[in-house]
Amino acid sequence: MPDATQQIPDWVMVLAVLLGPILAVQAESVLRRRRERHERKLDVFRTLMAHRAAGLSPAHVEALNRIDIEFRGNRKVTAAWKSYIDHLNDHSLTPETWGARKEDLLTDLLSEMARALNYDFDRVHIKRAAYYPQGYGDIDQDQLAIRKGLAAVLKGEQHVPMRITSVPVTEQEAAEQAELRGLMIKSYRGELPLEVRIVDRATAD
């Protein structure tokens, strides 16, 4: 029985020898790009998971803005991302309603991302298994209030309240004010008559 390689034309063997290394390099390049894209997706997901309780952190915002790039082609993830972004820009709701809806939409987004990356995270884990100290929340709220107040002052929509609690005076000024106050009290009580002088305008001119 003839060898199978003997039935293959010589030019095919030569072509295979020549193209083998090239195809191997191309295959390795494709695999490398896939690994890099997967790592970028993981980086976005890990960042959002790590900062899911800190929506105002720069890392959280940056990761959100990368989703439409890194998860391009995944309709479920991009649809959840668009719903979350639309809600973040919606200022028509009360703060309580807005906050609760924000938490639900972020959970939806992270759930879809976890599913796309083969992570077995349920909604309860994503929503509740995050630690964020109360002090961080207080700092965020204080900074937000300061930014809004400063912006209102700069726009002329609000004034800076001021109250004078004390005026520094010298000992001499304090003594003169006390003497003047005493004289005014005596005058009001009728104990000290006011001196009145009548001046003739014609004579004075």
Q: Are 5 and 77 in contact (CB under 8 A)?
A: no
- On whether the pTM is more than 0.85, the answer is no
Which CB contacts under 8 angstroms, 24+ apart, belong to 77-83? 77/109, 77/112, 77/113, 77/116, 80/105, 80/108, 80/109, 80/111, 80/112, 80/113, 81/109, 83/108, 83/109
* 136-152 per-position pLDDT tens digit: 556 667 777 787 888 88
* 15-33 per-position pLDDT tens digit: 666 666 666 666 666 667 7
Query: How many C-beta neighbours within 10 Å does residue 113 have?
Result: 26
Give pLDDT, residue 203. 61
H/E stretch holding 160 reads none
39-50 as b/e, with b when 16 or more CB fall inside 10 Å?
eebeebbebbbe
Bigger pLDDT: 146 or 116? 116
